[in-house]
Chain A
Amino acid sequence: MMGNGFRITFWLFLSPVLLWLFLLIVIPHIDLLLLSFRGESDMGDPIWTLQNYKNFFIEPIYWYTFLRTALYAMITTFCTFILALPVSFYIVKLARPRTRGFLTVLLLLPFWVSELVRVYGWMILLRESGVFNYFMLKMGIIDQPIEMLYNDITMIMGLVYTSMLFMVVPLISVMESLDDSLIEAAHDLEASRFDILRTIIIPHCKPGITSGSIVVFMLALGNYLTPNLMGGKNSLWFTEQIYNQFIASFNWNQGAAFGFLLLVLSSVIIWVGLKVTRQNLGEVAS
């Protein structure tokens, strides 16, 4: 009797979650999936087809854009990691407790405004008639304003800036569990600073690095605003291509196919990444 009551309560509480998952995630995706297999025959009649997926591989522009996007997302992830590691190390191990809270808030602060505002903020700083150029001209460092916007490096910087927090937070949480005495023990056993980083800190932080990297990679891959606004004229991002298919070309079938390709290919990349570093997703998630 008791068991029965418990079971009913269990389903009662679980059902909103299941409904939410089903209605808002599963159904639209099934709809999109079906859409991606639809097309038009030469006569203009709707038919089932694999053409939308074929297009991706036949048309070099599409997979080139995807490769480019994936590569840049990886570079972004790597740069974010390189920057986030010392930052989180400082916050966890070196800063005094009071400064720690302050620094964490400082990291969170940019996220109180929308991404659009943040990107515009960068644009005001970096543009040819912007703040940086103004001061550099004033101080005589340069005699011609330089355009710092609209190139790949700026775009990656923007992406790194946007992703920082998502790398720092998991790193902080794994680093908190790193016993200081491990670092000291390594130091005592004649390890240099670099050795300690390589053999103790990074292996210990691996789960945090992996989960942070997955989040940052997916965020960068799925970003639309930053590449579009800061990247300038060469920065075709794969999300933009999906947007274009849906909005500009009215080709929802192609757009849906691209959406699924993005999902599948990014999952494959992450899977390969986990294999190469010999980890599994369950470990990382816990």
Chain B
Amino acid sequence: MTNDLSVRNIVRKFGDFTAVDDVSFDVPQGSFFSILGPSGCGKTTLLRMIAGFDEPTAGTLTIRDQDMRGVPPNKRPVNLVFQHLALFPMMNVVENIGFGLKRRGMSSAEISKRCVAILERVDLPGYGKKRIDQLSGGQKQRVAIARCLVMEPSVLLLDEPLGALDLKLREQMKVELKKLQANVGTTFIYITHDQSEALVMSDRIAVMNEGRFEQVGSPRELYNDPRTPFVARFVGDNNSWSGEVEESAEYTTICTSEGLHFRARSHRSYKSGTRVDLFLRPEALRIEPKDLTGLNTFKVSVKAILFDGANSRLLTVMPGGHELLVNLPQNRQFDHIEPGASITLGWHPDSGLCFKV
């Protein structure tokens, strides 16, 4: 498979501050690639360098094997959907969509033909004559994407375009975007700080922190097998303990600061006495397990029930005051649990993951 975008050892410095620090990655043709990170991690800088609004301090950036050094944004085969969409308020929908084609000098008949086609594609047929301020948030979104797609870019860049939408619409647009990408087959590079957006839509995700890529992988890999404590914390929810390694064998045995002894996985073996953090997903914790063999078990008291349908959880407290989130399956089995109850939790050593601090 060929790569639409290749980035090699790219660096961007602003004075003493390094915004993007030696990042390399490839985006295969037709894939949905997300860059996920907290705000200020350098993801927007990286995106702006791809779009051509910023030049790297060092490193190379090639799009379809063409070096992009010194190529201005209007000459690059990429298009960007802006965070606040940046639709032109002085133009109507077709004028917005036809803007780029007109700049290419395409005939107006051809432009209107393509505009109609792309509006069909983003599910807005007949909206051409509408003014921008007559559109709803989701419609604007689709117009912004249509405006870029009509240019038939090698790579479509999206800078947190769902940020401004309300929750319900955001959930809906996630699915739509994914479908749209699959339909048109254009390579999408998607920037977000919202891990759920990234997880739902992406083929591959790069988790970025302080200018560097922490881990690049499929959503499942990132979720189930984080390679760094940052990824473990940032992608999905995690409970954590800190403690010391007691023994490193098939499993690593650790003693937490509360004095509990757990067995868990680690990517490498640590010497005993090494300080580590242990991460455990809420859904890995089983409430009152029947079969205790091979499980780590301990007692907690229930502090609150966080009811959220299928996502319901228990907020529990360990005797030392350490709080843990526990998934509460809605199969009526645990309806008897009330705040203040004391329960036993257990988890399988394969679910926990240790990282050296």
Contact = CB atoms under 8 A, between A and B. Distances in A.
B154 to A, nearest CB: 14
B79 interface: yes
B82 interface: yes
A163 B181 CA distance: 54
B74 A185 contact: no
B88 A186 contact: yes
Interface residues of B, number: 25
B84 A190 contact: no
A189 B84 contact: no
B19 interface: no
Nearest to B75: A190
Interface string B84-98: 101111100000000
A199 B99 contact: yes
Interface string A24-60: 0000000000000000000000000000000000000
B90 A189 contact: no
A187 interface: yes
A190 B86 contact: no
Interface string A174-205: 00000101101111111110010001100110
Contacts of B83: 181
Interface in B68-122: 72-75, 78-80, 82-84, 86-90, 99-100, 103-104
A184 B53 contact: yes
A189 B74 contact: yes
Nearest to B74: A190
A188 B74 contact: yes
Nearest to A185: B86
A179 B74 CA distance: 18
A285 B188 CA distance: 44
B79 to A, nearest CB: 6
B90 A191 contact: no
Contacts of A187: 53, 72-74
B308 to A, nearest CB: 35
A184 B103 contact: no
B80 A191 contact: no
B82 A189 contact: no
B90 A204 contact: yes
Interface in B308-345: none
B86 A184 contact: yes
A14 B147 CA distance: 52
B86 A181 contact: yes
A122 B79 CA distance: 51
B124 interface: no
Contacts, number: 60
A224 B75 CA distance: 51
B151 interface: yes
A188 B79 contact: yes
Given A188-B79, A189-B100, A189-B151, A182 B73 contact: no
A195 B84 CA distance: 22
Interface centre among B72, B74, B151 (most CB of A within 10 A): B74
Contact of A200 (B82, B88, B151): B88
A189 B79 contact: yes
B84 A179 contact: yes
B129 to A, nearest CB: 17
A275 B51 CA distance: 40
A257 B108 CA distance: 53
A159 B88 CA distance: 35
A192 B74 contact: yes
A185 B99 CA distance: 10
A187 B100 CA distance: 9
B46 to A, nearest CB: 16
Given A179-B84, A181-B83, A182-B88, A188 B99 contact: no
Given A189-B103, A195-B103, A181 B84 contact: yes
Contacts of B75: 190
Nearest to A182: B86
Contacts of A203: 90
A203 B72 CA distance: 24
A184 B79 CA distance: 11
Contacts of A192: 74, 103
B86 A191 contact: no
Contacts of B148: 189
Interface centre among B84, B86, B87 (most CB of A within 10 A): B86
Contacts of A200: 88, 90
A182 B90 CA distance: 11
A181 B47 CA distance: 14
Contacts of B78: 188
11 contacts: A184-B73, A184-B80, A184-B86, A185-B80, A185-B87, A186-B88, A186-B99, A188-B78, A189-B147, A191-B99, A191-B103
Identify the 6 closest CB pairs spanning chains A and B, nearest first. A189-B100, A185-B86, A181-B86, A203-B90, A190-B103, A190-B74
Given A185-B82, A185-B86, A191-B100, 17 more contacts: A184-B53, A185-B87, A185-B88, A186-B88, A187-B53, A187-B72, A187-B73, A188-B51, A188-B53, A188-B80, A189-B79, A189-B100, A189-B103, A189-B151, A191-B99, A192-B103, A204-B90
